[in-house]
Amino acid sequence: MFGHAAPPAEDVDTVGDRANVVRLCTVVPPNCAAVFVKVVDRTSTESYKDRLAKYIIEEAERRGDLKPGMTIVAATDGSTGFSLAFACILKKYPLTIVSSNAFDVEKLRSLEGHGALKLDLVYSSSGITPDLIPSMVHRAKELAQGDGYYLADQFHNEDTCIEYETMGRELLNRFPEGIDAFCGAVGGAGIAMGIAKILKSKWPEIFIAMPEPASSPTIRESRPGAHSVEGIGFYPPHPDWKLCNEVCAVPEEEGHDMYRRLVKEECLSVEAPTGFNVAAAIALAKRLGPGKQVVTVAVQYGVKNTSSNWFT
């Protein structure tokens, strides 16, 4: 099914360097800037959300907001849920995840198997709609009332941006010669804003692009719509627009096709929305031309959403 990739993405990581960067070889057309993808660390759940979960919990413990025996409550489409579930197993915190039937069934089933002691679903008959994430956040706040609960609110917790700044520093170390453009879709916007803050502090002229689904132009036109790209497509709660040069639109089918090409042609087993990031990065690479460098990020390894229409 996966065919033969010839050649696969070029591994440009350095032994012991957590930058974990690969250069795309086959999906990038000729006469374009080079496109690099920061792939996720080989961590517990193979998602960059592992860093987020660890940092949120440890910072809450440090402040005294989270104490032994308390239940952690979080709203998530699934990715953060995996990371929180694993962290809660290790730290022995009960966990309640608020999610939705609109997201991939594999994610929901796996969450239950990864230590989410309670899974509370917000039902949607129309898929990922503009009010779905806000409804999930509201439900999580309701469940987290009382002294025995801690709300790990990834959408409004400033700790998320701080932790993702470490990824920006890793890119500084990996590309001492400079990066011309960075591209990252925004959900909560923690990763895009965290990385952009560090890159802009080093290279003020770097071009920062943040793609969103063309079917849900929430940021560009204040016109949210239903779409199929999990984790993004709503107005981000961590915006710092002085860090962003452009919000661009990517058609869902274009992201879908790029995801499949990454698997088949670059041998990159990544989460489907990574195709969305790469499609936007290649559009930037076409504009910049040869001799420039564009960097984007992979979401996580692609083993949790195989029922999605992105996969077929």
Cβ-proximal residues to 69 (8 Å cutoff; 6+ apart), any chain: 148
Residue 226 is assigned to a structural domain of this protein:
yes
Tell me the three state secondary structure of residue 80. Answer: helix
Quickly count: other Cβ atoms within 10 Å of residue 173's Cβ.
Answer: 11
Residues 127 and 168 in one domain: no
Residue 119 is assigned to a structural domain of this protein:
yes
Nearest to 105 by CA among 95, 115, 94, 119: 119
Residue 309 is assigned to a structural domain of this protein:
no
Residue pair 174/19 in contact by the 8 Å Cβ criterion: yes
Residues 288 and 173 in one domain: yes
Picking from 151, 181, 201, the residue at the C-terminal end of a domain is 151
Residue 224 is assigned to a structural domain of this protein:
yes
Q: Which domain, by its residues, includes 25?
A: 21-44+161-297
Residue pair 167/195 in contact by the 8 Å Cβ criterion: yes
pLDDT of 15 reads: 34
Q: Establish how many alpha carbons lie within 13 A of residue 233's alpha carbon, considering only the half-sphere containing its beta carbon.
A: 25
Residues 288 and 180 in one domain: yes
Spatial distance between the Cα atoms of 217 and 144, rounded to a whole number of angstroms: 31
- Give me the tens of pLDDT residue by residue for the chain, a chain 312 residues long: 223 333 445 555 433 344 589 999 999 999 999 999 998 765 556 667 777 788 889 989 999 999 999 999 998 877 778 888 888 888 999 999 998 888 877 777 777 766 556 889 999 888 888 888 889 989 999 999 988 999 988 777 666 667 678 889 999 999 999 999 999 877 666 678 888 999 999 999 999 998 888 887 777 777 776 666 666 656 666 567 788 899 888 888 898 899 999 989 998 888 777 888 999 999 999 999 999 999 998 876 555 454 454 444
Specify the CATH number for the domain of residue 272.
3.40.50.1100
Q: What is the DSSP letter of 306?
A: T
pTM: 0.73
Residue 259 is assigned to a structural domain of this protein:
yes
Residues 94 and 220 in one domain: no
* Number of independent structural domains in the chain: 2
Residue 9 is assigned to a structural domain of this protein:
no
Quickly count: other Cβ atoms within 10 Å of residue 263's Cβ.
Answer: 21
Residues 168 and 224 in one domain: yes
Residue 312 is assigned to a structural domain of this protein:
no
Picking from 151, 175, 197, the residue at the C-terminal end of a domain is 151
Spatial distance between the Cα atoms of 117 and 120, rounded to a whole number of angstroms: 10
Spatial distance between the Cα atoms of 226 and 136, rounded to a whole number of angstroms: 16
Distances (CA, A) of 218 to 130, 225, 241: 9, 8, 14
Residues 174 and 142 in one domain: no
pLDDT of 9 reads: 58
Residue pair 74/157 in contact by the 8 Å Cβ criterion: no
Residues 217 and 293 in one domain: yes
Cβ-proximal residues to 73 (8 Å cutoff; 6+ apart), any chain: 95, 96, 98, 140, 143, 144, 149, 150, 151, 152
Residues 33 and 106 in one domain: no
